[in-house]
Structure 1
Amino acid sequence: MGLHPKIIDLTLDRVDRLLDRMGRPQDSLPPVVHVAGTNGKGSTIAFLRSILEQAGYRVHVYTSPHLVRFAERIRLAGEIIAEDHLSAILESAEQDNGGEPITFFEITTCAALKAFAETPADILLLEVGLGGRLDATNVVDKPACTVITPVSMDHTQYLGGDLHAIAGEKAAIQKNGVPSVVAPQDPIAAAVIGAAAERAGTRIIEAAPLPKDTPLGLTGPHQAVNAGTACATIDVLRQAGFTVTDADIAAGLAGAVWPARLQRLTAGPIPALLGPEWEVWLDGGHNAAAGQTLAAHAAKAWLGKSLYMIAGMLNTKTPEGFLAPFANLAKNVATISIPGEANSLSAEELCETALSVGLIAEPAESLEKATAALKGRPPGILLICGSLYLAGEVLADNS
Structure 2
Amino acid sequence: MRLTDILIKSLKVPATGQKTHFDDALPGFGVRVSQGGTKSFVVMFGTRRRLKTIGRYPDLSLAEARREAKRVQVDAATAIAALPRDEPVPFDTARDRFLADSKLRHKERTHTDYDRLLCRHFSFSKDMDTLTRADIVTAVEKLAATPSEQQHAFVAVRAMMNWCVKRGILDHSPVPALTFRSVTRSNVLSDPDLKAVYNRAVATGYPYGSIVQLLILSGQRRGEIAALRRSWIEGDLIVFPAGFTKNKREHRCPLSPLAQRLIEALPEIGDMLFPARGVPDHPFNGWGKSKERFDKPLEVAAYTLHDLRRTFSSNLARLGTPIHVTEKLLNHVSGTVSGVAAIYNRYSYLDEMRAALMLHDEYLAKLTAD
Specify the structure having the higher radius of gyration (Cα).
2
TM-score by length of 2: 0.26
TM-score by length of 1: 0.25
If asked which structure has higher relative contact order (CA below 8 Å, sep 6+), I would say 1
